């Protein structure tokens, strides 16, 4: 029996495990938000970056990619990889995955999804909502072992565009981060 994993953040562009098939599509009743702190990839414990998690949102959809893994050895490798990579995500859900907006029946049921919950007891890296400007500034400044937090945001934006998906939250945030970076660069140029 195949194992399916849904990626809605960096898994879209950087999988890191073997898979047999890759299906673009979406899950229902969730939205992608930059509420999870990253202290091990895109930030540090002293200055966490912000990465995406999902929050319940009745009537909304979240676009991403589902990966099909069929070989037993590949399933083990994928789970080992994901348990380390997604260790700051404290919940696993098994959801319906759709490939066509007009479909009432899912293309795949039981797709595994890692979610960082807002429960501070099981997820001490949850940052939660913040003013848009504050989230953008944090993303501009944060950097971790996997690189600048802004690269994570820009890679996510580009990956979604390449798939033909629109996510206003991601696009608006990326646009704002670019404006901050441009203003910072302009100010540095004037000081020279």
Q: What is the pLDDT of residue 188?
A: 63
Q: What average pLDDT does the segment 48-67 reach?
A: 97
Q: Is the pLDDT of residue 159 over 70?
A: yes
Q: What is the pLDDT of residue 184?
A: 82
Q: In the numeric block, which tokens belong to residue 109? A: 């049921």
Catalytic residues: 86
Q: What is the pLDDT of residue 185?
A: 76
- Domain 3-191: state its class: alpha beta
Q: In the numeric block, which tokens belong to residue 117? A: 């919950």
Q: What average pLDDT does the segment 154-167 reach?
A: 96
Q: What span, in angstroms and rounded, lies between the C-alpha atoms of 132 and 153?
A: 14
What would the pLDDT profile of 173-186 be if each residue is shown by its tens digit? 999 999 999 998 76
Phi/psi at 167 (nearest 5 deg)?
-135, 100
Q: Is the dihedral of CA 57, 58, 62, 65 positive or negative?
A: positive
What would the pLDDT profile of 87-96 be if each residue is shown by its tens digit? 889 999 999 9
Q: What is the pLDDT of residue 70?
A: 98
Any idea how long the chain is?
A: 192
Q: Is the pLDDT of residue 53 over 80?
A: yes
Q: What is the pLDDT of residue 47?
A: 96
Contact between residue 118 and residue 91 where contact means Cβ atoms under 8 Å apart: no
Q: What average pLDDT does the segment 77-104 reach?
A: 95
What would the pLDDT profile of 16-36 be if each residue is shown by its tens digit? 999 999 999 999 999 999 999
Enter the pTM of the model: 0.93
Mean of per-residue pLDDT scores for the chain? 95
Q: Is the pLDDT of residue 192 over 70?
A: no
Q: Is the pLDDT of residue 122 over 70?
A: yes
The stretches of the chain forming alpha helices (DSSP H) are 72-85, 132-141, 149-163, 168-191
Q: Is the pLDDT of residue 9 over 60?
A: yes
Q: What is the pLDDT of residue 92?
A: 96
Q: Is the pLDDT of residue 187 over 70?
A: no
């Amino acid at each position: 029996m195949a194992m399916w994993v849904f990626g809605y953040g960096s898994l879209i562009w950087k999988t890191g495990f073997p898979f047999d098939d890759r299906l673009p599509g979406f899950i229902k009743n969730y939205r992608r938000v930059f509420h999870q702190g990253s202290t091990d990839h895109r930030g540090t414990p002293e200055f966490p970056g912000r990465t995406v998690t999902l929050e319940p949102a009745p009537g909304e959809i979240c676009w991403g990619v589902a990966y099909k893994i069929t070989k037993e050895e590949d399933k083990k490798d994928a789970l080992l990889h994901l348990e380390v990579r997604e260790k700051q995500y404290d919940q696993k859900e098994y959801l319906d995955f759709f490939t066509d907006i007009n479909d009432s029946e899912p293309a795949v049921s039981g797709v595994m999804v890692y979610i960082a919950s807002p429960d501070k007891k099981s997820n001490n890296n949850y940052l939660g909502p913040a003013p848009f400007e504050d989230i953008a500034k944090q993303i501009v400044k944060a950097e971790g072992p996997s690189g600048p937090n802004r690269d994570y945001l820009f890679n996510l934006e580009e990956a979604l565009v390449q798939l033909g998906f629109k996510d206003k939250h991601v696009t608006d945030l990326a646009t704002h981060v670019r404006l901050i970076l441009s203003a910072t660069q302009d100010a540095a140029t004037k000081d020279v």
